[in-house]
A = this chain, B = another copy of it.
Amino acid sequence: MSMSRQEIQDLCVKSLEEKMVGTEAKNVDNGNGFYQYFFTNFPDLRVYFKGAEKYTAEDVKKSERFDKQGQRILLACHLIANVYTNEEVFKAYVRETVNRHRIYKMDPALWMAFFTVFTGYLGSTGSLTDQQKAAWMALGKEFNAECQEHLKNSNLPYVH
């Protein structure tokens, strides 16, 4: 089953309707909740969060830092979903995101892995249809391709 860019965008945007960004407590929780899921299910990756390497989901839940970080990452996911059909804008946003993460010296394989984590989160706390998941993985594949291309062009470690 092949999906058009527009179908992928519509499915991803739709999957985020229950995970809206915003300033209300519910919206803040939507972002913080991602990190609760992340830290519970992928504890080895906590190493990238200086000072929070041993945080439990309960620690994350109480953390203002992860309230803010949660909004930021959730917003990024909304942005990539909403601009996906504007391919050059999508790719420019990917490059900008990679540039901002340069200081963290991430394993380049994590750019693709993120979409497994993020769809895992969406599925864990709401409804994520198989089709929506497939749409996110298709978007993620293209996101990752531009990440690796940009890392290569920036003379940084990348996945071949």
Q: Quote the shortest CB–CB distance from A86 to chain B (angstroms).
A: 6
> Is A71's CB under 8 angstroms from B92's CB?
yes
* Residues of A91-115 contacting chain B, CB below 8 A: 91-93, 95-96
Interface of chain A, main secondary structure: helix
Query: Quick check: B75 and A22 within 8 Å, CB to CB?
Result: no
Contacts of A72 in B (CB 8 A): 96
Task: Please tell me how many copies of the chain the complex holds.
Answer: 2
Does A122 have its Cβ within 8 Å of any Cβ on chain B?
no
Determine if B71 and A78 form an interchain contact, defined as CB atoms under 8 angstroms apart. Answer: no
| Chain A, 69-86, CB within 8 A of any chain B CB | 71-72, 75, 78-79, 82-83, 86
Query: A21 at the A/B interface (Cβ < 8 Å)?
Result: yes
Additional A-B contact list (16), CB under 8 Å, known A20-B88, A21-B88: A13-B86, A23-B95, A27-B88, A71-B96, A75-B89, A75-B93, A75-B96, A78-B86, A78-B89, A79-B79, A79-B83, A79-B89, A79-B93, A82-B86, A82-B89, A83-B83
Interface of A with B (CB < 8 Å)? 13, 20-23, 27, 71-72, 75, 78-79, 82-83, 86, 88-89, 91-93, 95-96, 153
